Structure 1
Amino acid sequence: MAEQKNLNEYNEDSIRSLDWREHIRLRPGMYIGKLGDGSATDDGIYVLVKEVLDNCIDEHTMGFGKQVEITIEGKQVTIRDYGRGIPLGKVVDVVSKINTGAKYDSKAFQKSVGLNGVGTKAVNALSQYFKVTSHRDGVAKIAEFERGVLVKEHKEQKTTEANGTLVTFIPDETVFRNFHFIHEYLDSQLWNYCYLNAGLSIHFNGKKYVSKNGLLDLLERKTNADELRYPIIHLKGEDIEVAVSHNNDYGEDIFSFVNGQYTTQGGTHQQAFREAYIKVIRDFYKKDYDAADIRGSIVAAISVRVQEPVFESQTKTKLGSQNVYEGGPTMKKFVEEFLAKELDNYLHRNPAVADALRKRIEQSERERKELAGIKKLANERAKKANLHNKKLRDCRVHLNDDLPAKNKEEFIALQKNSTIFITEGDSASGSITKSRNVDTQAVFSLRGKPLNAYGLTKKVVYENEEFNLLQHALNIEDGMEGLRYNNIVIATDADVDGMHIRLLMMTFFLQFFPDLVKRGHVYILETPLFRVRNKQETIYCYDETEKQAAVSKLGNKPEITRFKGLGEISPEEFGRFIGEEMRVQPVILEQGDHIQQLLEYYMGKNTMERQEFIINNLKVELDLVD
């Protein structure tokens, strides 16, 4: 009994305070979102890069430093700006003391993003090596850290380098396991910085990024000129900039920014634009068009400058500010008044554009009405099927769930991990279902090869039961706002049929829901091709190179198994491949990719160009198993 009493004691010794470094390392999700291995755009390693870059951008915004240099070699990141440089006496404090920084002084940083003094401290704490150098008026100060612990503070020394700050860090591999940087993700991020900061030049691994026309350049890069229904409308005002057009894709593509930062989850400014745009269009045409018809196929970008912005999380991906500045207009009123004047004037001055916009809206209206009857029947079928939907084995936490009153940060981390696996056949879905995390991982089972959706209208999404049930499972019928899973993972066998199913699913998403791909939600699951083992150790290999390395390591003719299908992998084994160290390949649309041309090339009628591509890229695997 005495021993039990001691176990239950709650006294002064039970209470401990975590220092800043311990707290960040214990709860990294609170500071940088999900950890990940770099295969997703919102993985923590990119947030680390962003946190350091934000400081460079804020310096530029205040008029100091027109150039930023970034180098990534393997897993080491180096970022150099040419701003004023951190005050030499505060170099250590600025990167290692929470709530320390210049941005609390609103005179120094009127419209910056990093206001809470956490950014570089999180980078420092979550890096196995972190070095900061400040060059200021001919004197340099260097400090070096390991996982947030100061290991060497150098004495001040003379320097001939220009003013500015140099940061080098290597993310901690015990936190970010098996991580790697995907340069296409950084490429997009760096372009956004340049579009939103005129005169800024960024050099990344030898490539130069610079923009002269702001959001106009952004939309030109994100769209294809021959798909646009009218020239991009570009409007600029004090603390606000807007670019907008319409194309032929389904859905709506809106890029929103605050103080030069990309708010991937939108916020009050994006919602204000969506509502204000509808009101201005209705007033201009004097017609009560349906909101879905006005915004259908829209491509737009909005950037605002806000004093002391309030975000809904430390990663600053969603704006929560209701006002542009303290005591100033609401975000809704600010955006609406700007569009009511500038967009209305533009449409009056450009009647050809106004006519093309009206025709696009009315085309969307006709298509919506044509679908109305079949949508009703399909949705009734889907509701009945959902009551006993054997195709979907759902999870408990979804991306669109309301936040709980307590433990919000932990819940947000779960939402970001919410995943749906799209599998072929019962055997594969059975293995995943038995080994998945029921909190965050759902499984949708295909019965065979889905329909080739290229060139078909959205009518087929409702006529085809499988497509309709998948659409309802994802909850994307009315747009991306209700998306239930952050990660959509296509999990097919590593054979010809599996590759074909993968291609057909990617065609479905690109044809009808391109925003899922554009916003980085779609992935391909990598599963091991080989199992190499002896009595002491088992190694799973994802390609021939890894297999040869495993054979060399184990020696003495180990047993080699070649997996041809997911169903061959036992549920116990499968659990290892869809857990924390799951390997996935993101589906990325490269700059300049024209979706319809892309689909025509790979999924249209057999062409000589495609035949030549297949012949030139055909590879034959021989002796995969010795």
Structure 2
Amino acid sequence: MKKQDSNYNNESITSLKGAERVRLRPGVIFGSDGLDGCEHAFFEILSNSIDEAREGYGKKIEITRFKDDSILVRDHGRGIPVDYNPKEDCFNWELVFCELYAGGKYQNNTGENYEFSLGLNGLGTCATQYASEFMEAVIYRDGMCYQLHFEKGENIGGLMKEAVEKHPTGTQITWRPDRDVFTEIHIPLSYFQDVLKKQAVVNAGLLFELYDEESGETFQYCYENGIRDYLAELNGENGLTAVHYLQTETKGRDREDKPEYRLKFEAAFCFNNHVNVLEYYHNSSFLEYGGSPDKAVRNAFVFAIDKYLKSNSLYKKDEKKITFADVEESLILVINSFSTVTSYENQTKKSITNKFIQEAMTEFFRRQLEIYFIENKMDADKIAAQVLANKRSRETAENTRVNIRKKLTGSLDMNNRVEKFVNCRTKDVSRREIYIVEGDSALGSCKQGRDADFQAIMPIRGKILNCLKADYNKIFNSDIIIDLLKVLGCGVEVKSKHDKGLNSFDLAQLRWSKVILCTDADVDGFQIRTLLLTMLYRLVPTLIYEKKVYIAESPLYEIRHGKDKYFAYTDSEKAKITAKLKGKVKIKRSKGLGENAADMMWETTMNPETRRLILVTPDEAERTQAIFELLLGENLSGRKEHIAEEGHKYLDMIDLS
């Protein structure tokens, strides 16, 4: 049906003007109106100072993070031109601070003002000014000190200037991001530290000094030899290979009808079994998503290493070729590139899309890697062996997970497919309980003693595999473990370096409100319980963290006094009970769950009103992990030492019969 009254007419079309273009739509310029956008605004101002330093004007940039969330950036460059510009018939400060798409970097392909620069679009300074509660600029150049003050995108007082004698040139900008523009303006110290370290890496010899007013600390970042020093730091003393450094310069175009531009880049890489890092920088901007350089590296490294493996007959017969995942796992690489024309994916500069850059880097790395492998045969063999080892480990892990999924997913009638599992009637997961019990005899007494409406029984046959020591292939070849995981229904949490996106765990699919471990109160029972906990801890640790796992305490003694019956769970409880009773008492030592009568099982272990359940909590997860690994892991000497020191406390529990 047509609306009768519409106000959509020729007067409905409006445009944002001046500061409103940024203040009302900050996400368009900064990528976000949240903290990410606020952080990017800082980087825009920092970028201008870096561009000056890289042109040879200034060797130090100072940054202050104030308690009130305002920020100061000071450089020792040439100083922003802010006086009258006859060519534009206005003041330069109006262009720089109040006009989007205005600046001194539009002729970069000629190298007139800046050979290579972070800022290309003339947006950063103006956009940050528009998005600020206030901004103050103090600029020294041409023997003058210029001062500007802005509030919420509006200039207050015009340009103030005075002559100064023998003052070094430079620009100091202080501003506070506006809460009316950004939803959050409290940039954490860690962000400044991370950004400044990265910029020190790719601007060799440039000193960044950060003062944090909140903590009173000062931090300095400087890498005299840039990426070479940074890679040496990452590689440490245990690298598989030493750092290899490359650099080149070339020219090209992204399309035949596009202008030619200059590209230069340096790269350093090494292989390491403990650290893997890939970082790409273009015109000093960190490319979080890479783009062209990342595509080039993936192509060239796989091509070159695959070629080496084939030419040296290192693949097994019919073996699949390597992928970049196999290379990346042991690769440390940093590329620091610069071009006079750059196609960023957007203003936030997290990825570049230049076709020529991708092609030039691909060809360069293919050629240089081939030379490197010829000249460094020992390193080439180490790299080849490690990449193949990574590949085979990945394939084994992937095959294991495929097998796991086949075993654990699909339609499942647990009554038919899990041997001796006894289900309960209710479908209400909030009521359902699963008792994992020790042996067939315990199954019988628990089955008779339970409430079949909401309590299910899963018996296990003997001691299960020690899941802390076994590899995943061995674990998932265990019928007992697979049956337990099927019954739980929530999948499995596979922890390995190859597990990205392949875990099948889903807590919402858990079929039980409580998972209750019920074993005999003797040494064997305690060991089985520990092995079960170890299995849950390694394969479904979330169940412990979500407080789904319990231990059912079973009594050690049944005490009869006439017609009355009492149960004691410890020796001290037994002593207290017998002390209160007068006359003759009969004490029966529990020998196992299987010997308990059904009514006793219900009263002592399964009745929610009278049973004792111990919640397995994650409060001491690190401590639990350490104990599990000490008692069940590969640390034999540590285990012997622990037994020697602590074993005497448990001598009375040893069954020597």
Residue by residue, what CA displacement relative to the aligned partner does 1:341-364 show, whole Å, maximum 9, x if unpaired?
A: 333333333333222212211211
Amino acid at match of 1:186: F
Q: 1:88 aligns with which of 82, 93, 105?
A: 82
Of 345, 356, 360, which aligns to 2:382?
356
Distance 2:475 2:95 in 1: 57
**1:310-349 mapped onto 2 (5 Å cutoff):** 310-324=343-357, 331-332=358-359, 334-349=360-375
Q: What TM-score comes out, normalization by structure 1 length?
A: 0.59
The answer to whether 1:370 aligns with 2:396 is yes
- Which position in structure 2 is the counterpart of 1:68? 61
Please state if 1:290 is matched with 2:296. no
Task: Report the 3-state secondary structure (helix = DSSP H, G, I; strand = E; otherwise coil) of the residue aligned with 2:246.
Answer: strand
The one-letter amino acid of 1:80's match is R
Question: Is the Cα contact below 8 Å between 1:245 and 1:299 reproduced in 2?
Answer: yes
Shift of the 310–174 alpha-carbon distance from structure 1 to 2, 3 Å rule, reads same
One-letter amino acid matched to 1:296: E
Return the alpha-carbon distance in structure 2 between the equivalents of residues 454 and 246 of structure 1.
Answer: 30
What letter matches 1:180 in structure 2? H
Partner of 2:305: 281
1:209 aligns to 2:221 (yes or no): yes
Question: SS in structure 1 opposite 2:242?
Answer: coil
Match of 2:126 among 99, 121, 124: 121
1:92-491 matches, within 5 Å, as: 92-106=94-108, 107-160=112-165, 161-205=167-211, 206-222=218-234, 224-226=236-238, 228-238=239-249, 239-248=264-273, 253-286=277-310, 289-291=321-323, 292-324=325-357, 331-332=358-359, 334-380=360-406, 384=410, 476-477=500-501
Post-superposition Cα deviations, 1:179-200, rounded to whole Å, max 9, x if no partner, equal: 4222222212112112111231
Residue 177 of structure 1, CA deviation: 3.8
- Aligned residue in 2 for 1:496: none
CA 1:311–1:461 in structure 2 vs 1: closer, same or farther (change >3 Å)?
Answer: farther
Distance 1:183 1:336 in 2: 37
CA contact (8 A) 2:100 2:127 kept: no
Q: Which amino acid aligns with 1:353?
A: D
Measure the CA separation in 1 of the matches of 2:49 and 2:73: 9
**What's the counterpart of residue 33 of structure 1?**
31
Q: Distance in 2 between matches of 1:466 and 1:249?
A: 32
**1:19-68 Cα shifts (integer Å, max 9, x gaps):** 1421212221121123334xxxxx22221111001111111222222221
**Is the contact made by 1:55 and 1:114 (CA closer than 8 Å) also made in structure 2?**
yes
Contact 1:246 1:299 in 2 (8 A): yes
Q: Structure 2 counterpart of 1:28, which letter?
A: P
- Report the Cα distance in structure 2 between the residues aligned to 1:139 and 1:22, rounded to whole angstroms: 32
Distance in 1, Cα, partners of 2:398 & 2:156: 66
**Structure 2 equivalent of residue 77 of structure 1:** 71
**Other structure's SS at 1:86 match:** coil
Matched to 2:13, the amino acid is I
* Aligned counterparts of 1:461 and 1:103: Cα–Cα separation in 2: 61
**Larger relative contact order (CA 8 Å, sep ≥ 6):** 1
Q: Contact conserved, 2:248 with 2:266, CA < 8 A, in 1?
A: yes
Letter in 2 for 1:303: N
Q: CA 1:224–1:185 in 2, change beyond 3 Å: closer, same or farther?
A: farther
Return the offset for 1:209: 1.5
Secondary structure at 1:363 match in 2: helix
Q: What whole-Å deviation, never above 9, does each CA across 1:532-581 have from its counterpart, x for those lacking one?
A: xxxxxxxxxxxxxxxxxxxxxxxxxxxxxxxxxxxxxxxxxxxxxxxxxx
1:274 Cα deviation from its structure 2 partner: 1.2
What is the match of residue 46 of structure 2?
53
Question: Per the alignment, do residues 60 and 355 of structure 1 end up closer, same or farther by CA in structure 2, a change over 3 Å counting?
Answer: same
CA distance in 2, matches of 1:298, 1:148: 46
Identify if the C-alpha distance between structure 1 residues 601 and 156 changes in structure 2 by more than 3 Å, giving closer, same or farther: farther
**Residues 1:150 and 1:277: Cα distance change in structure 2 (over 3 Å):** same
Secondary structure in structure 2 of the residue aligned to 1:152: coil
Range moving further from structure 2, 135-144 or 28-37:
28-37
Question: Could you tell me how far 1:234 is from its partner in structure 2?
Answer: 2.5
2:449 counterpart residue number: none
TM-score by length of 2: 0.56
DSSP 3-state at the match of 1:69: strand
> Are the equivalent residues in 2 in contact too, given 1:293–1:364 (CA < 8 A)?
yes
Maintained 8 Å contact 1:382/1:469: no
Cα contact 2:138–2:172 (8 A) shared by 1: yes
Q: 1:72 deviation in Å?
A: 0.8
Equivalent pair of 1:110/1:308 in contact (CA under 8 Å): no
- Aligned partners of 2:98, 2:467: CA distance in 1, in Å? 53
3-state DSSP class of the match of 1:365?
helix
Two-structure CA RMSD over aligned residues (Å): 4.1
- Displacement of 1:80 after TM fit? 0.8
Once the two structures are aligned, what percentage of the paired residues are identical?
A: 26
**Deviation (angstroms), 1:313:** 1.1
What secondary structure is seen at the aligned counterpart in 1 of 2:157?
strand
Find the aligned partners of 1:80 and 1:382 in 2 and give their Cα distance. Answer: 60
Larger radius of gyration: 2
Letter in 1 for 2:245: H
Aligned pair count reads 415
Q: Within 1, Cα distance between the matches of 2:349 and 2:468?
A: 37
Secondary structure of the residue aligned to 1:184 is helix
Give me the whole-angstrom Cα distance separating, in 1, the residues matched to 2:491 and 2:180.
Answer: 41
The alignment partner of 2:102 has SS state of: coil
- Asked if the contact 1:91–1:134 (Cα under 8 Å) also holds between the matched residues in 2, the reply is no
CA contact (8 A) 1:113 1:308 kept: no
**Which piece of structure 1 moves more, 148-157 or 306-315?**
148-157
Counterpart of 1:14? Answer: 12
Distance change in 2, residues 1:467/1:604 (3 Å): farther
Gaps of 5+ in 2: 84-91, 212-217, 250-263, 316-320, 412-428, 432-465, 477-481, 504-533, 539-621, 636-657
Check conservation: 2:271, 2:331, Cα contact below 8 A. Answer: yes
Q: C-alpha distance in 2, partners of 1:380/1:211? A: 51
Q: Tell me, in whole angstroms, the C-alpha distance in 2 between the residues paired with 1:262 and 1:601.
A: 39
The separation in 2 between residues aligned to 1:602 and 1:221, in whole angstroms, is 34
Shift of 1:175: 3.2
Cα distance per residue 1:240-299 (max 9 Å; x no partner): 22222333359x631111111100111111111111111122233435741132333322
Letter in 1 for 2:221: Y
Unaligned runs of 5+ in 1: 38-42, 325-330, 386-424, 428-451, 480-503, 509-596, 608-626
How far residue 77 of structure 1 moved from its aligned partner, in angstroms, is 0.5
Q: Which amino acid aligns with 1:213?
A: N
